Structure 1
Amino acid sequence: MLPTATVAIASPWASRSLTLPPLGNLDAYISAVNRMPLLTLEDEQGAARRLRDHNDLEAAGQLVMSHLRLVVSIARQYLGYGLPHGDLIQEGNVGLMKAVKRFDPEQGVRLVSYAMHWIKAEIHEY
């Protein structure tokens, strides 16, 4: 049995535990990712500051979980190269985590714009 990922995230999801199905069922994973709520600009900046200033892993999880649909969208663009969709998503997730770690909310750009480069770069490395 494949493991599942459970992440408890605070506002804006207010005491809701998010569980992603195992990657063995890619359609269920994509469906769950598409149901994840997006962060507002204020929530995104607040979470990024908490991560940067206090190394708040819950804030990092919130940023990653809210941007997983971006990874799925970008990975879909590379399906024509004959690579497995699940592998492309996994590599993109690594790029997203790198982007979240390096993101500076004071630069005046949204995480989605910054993360796109890191996600594509990680997929290209694959």
Structure 2
Amino acid sequence: MIENEAVTAARDFAFSEGPVWSVQFAQTKPGLTNAYLANLAAKWKPLMEEAKRRNVIRGYRILVAPPAHRDDWNVMIVVEVESMAALDGYSERMAELAAGLDRPEGRSQECAQFRELLGMKLVREVFLK
């Protein structure tokens, strides 16, 4: 029996693919880091907890660090999903959850008073073999 080339190639990788993380980098406005985190705790965290409960996401983290320079981030928000496929329809599912929690859309505009969003990346976790 001839082995499928894709299967053989996959076995040759030094890693296996894991979950996908959405990573946002934010820089809070001077003196507003605590206010931004309080806003996330009050309005964003309940949505993330419901998304986790309904298996829309696997988890989330908020990381805080001193900026390395004046244009650097100081708050990193990461949200973990099962795979790239889990992102299909993600925005719609999150909007439905937000509506169910009586959360109007527009968190980005609301958060803009506290921070500037510097960028976002989708990254995949890998597990070394």
TM-score range, shorter chain: under 0.3
- Give the alignment's TM-score, normalised by structure 2: 0.26
Structure with larger Rg? 2
Higher RCO (CA < 8 A, seq sep 6+): 2
Higher strand share: 2
